[in-house]
């Protein structure tokens, strides 16, 4: 686990973030609400703006390559700003089962503590490793959205999970 360095991504990381994000969207379209087609059209400034608007944490390997990300978004709306959203979680295949995913989620939880009362996420219901990770970190399922995503005519259900931080 110590082989990875974690830090919050900044505008200077926009190109690396863009490349990793597009890789995840291409390889695992069922795992994201966004599509590769839509985000591939976006300029680097769009990704830099995303990094400025949300707390997105990156995991870097020993060579300095960005190999994993997880984000925290907190709504501005007065009635929902007590809830944060863990989103955009992705770790490249070579870095899976290394503890990096856990560290990224823990970084998001740490960032959310004191800012929101609850952290929510959605995860494709067939992603057993992700469901195990989130459960181990205290997230509890509270619903199932049937047919939440449609990718090339195939539907995917999503499990809704939340972690109380108060």
Task: State the 10-residue block means of pLDDT for the chain, 166 residues long.
Answer: 86 95 95 93 93 94 95 94 96 92 97 96 95 97 96 96 95
CATH of 5-117, one of 3.40.630.30, 3.40.50.300, 3.40.630.10, 3.40.50.150: 3.40.630.30
Using CB atoms within 10 A of its CB, is residue 47 exposed (0-12), middle (13-18) or buried (19+)? buried
pLDDT at 3: 85
What's this model's pTM, rounded to 2 decimal places? Answer: 0.93
pLDDT value for 2? 53
Whole-angstrom Cα Rg for the chain = 15
What residues contact 114, with CB distance under 8 A and at least 6 apart? none
Q: Residue 1: what pLDDT?
A: 45
């Amino acid at each position: 686990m110590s082989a990875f360095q974690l830090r919050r991504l900044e505008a200077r990381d926009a190109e690396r973030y863009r490349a990793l994000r597009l890789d995840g969207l291409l390889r695992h379209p069922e795992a994201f609400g966004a599509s590769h087609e839509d985000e591939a059209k976006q300029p680097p400034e769009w990704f830099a703006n995303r990094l400025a608007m949300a707390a997105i944490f990156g995991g870097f390997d020993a060579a300095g390559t960005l190999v994993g990300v997880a984000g925290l978004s907190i709504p501005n709306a007065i009635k929902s700003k007590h809830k944060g959203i863990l989103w955009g979680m992705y770790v490249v295949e070579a870095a899976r089962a290394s503890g990096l995913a856990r560290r990224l989620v823990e970084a998001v939880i740490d960032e959310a503590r004191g800012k929101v009362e609850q952290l929510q996420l959605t995860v494709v219901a067939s992603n057993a490793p992700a469901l195990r990770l989130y459960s181990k970190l205290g997230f509890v399922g509270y619903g199932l959205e049937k047919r939440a995503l449609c990718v090339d005519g195939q539907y995917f259900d999503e499990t809704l999970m939340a972690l109380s931080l108060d």
